[in-house]
Amino acid sequence: MKKKRIPLRKCVACNGNKPKGQLIRVVKNKEGYLNIDLTGKMNGRGAYICFNKECLEKAKKNKGLNRALKIEIPDEIYDKLNDMIDSN
Ligand SMILES: [Zn+2]
């Protein structure tokens, strides 16, 4: 009998594998524009980060998102992520 597998994604900060619902997806589209993807359906290259401040801070410091997406992440994106975590 096959078990149903929950898709896991890796957080760029802590390298932990978590169900997609517990992570935030940051997407870089073809034009190189960054978006925070709450639907998980945006096209482009995506990187995941845990929905908490620890990982956000860590990602900022170790530039995990920069590496994963091969692009400089502007503070604006971190601010947005921060606000999202705050307001949750
Ligand atoms: Zn994490």
pLDDT of residue 40: 84
Q: What total number of domains does the chain contain? A: 1
pLDDT of residue 73: 96
The first and second tokens of residue 56, run together, are 């956000």
Burial of 77 (0-12, 13-18, 19+ CB in 10 A): middle
CA–centroid distance, residue 1 to ligand 1 (Å): 32
Question: Considering the domain boundaries, does residue 56 fall inside one?
Answer: yes
pLDDT of residue 71: 96
Question: Considering the domain boundaries, does residue 3 fall inside one?
Answer: no
The CATH number for 13's domain is 3.30.1230.10
Question: Considering the domain boundaries, does residue 1 fall inside one?
Answer: no
Please identify every stretch of the chain with a pLDDT value under 50, giving residue numbers as ranges.
Answer: none
CA–centroid distance, residue 31 to ligand 1 (Å): 27
Question: Considering the domain boundaries, does residue 2 fall inside one?
Answer: no
- What is the residue range of 31's domain? 8-87
Question: Considering the domain boundaries, does residue 26 fall inside one?
Answer: yes
* Closest C-alpha among 18, 44, 36 to residue 84: 36
Q: Are 19 and 7 in contact (CB under 8 A)?
A: yes
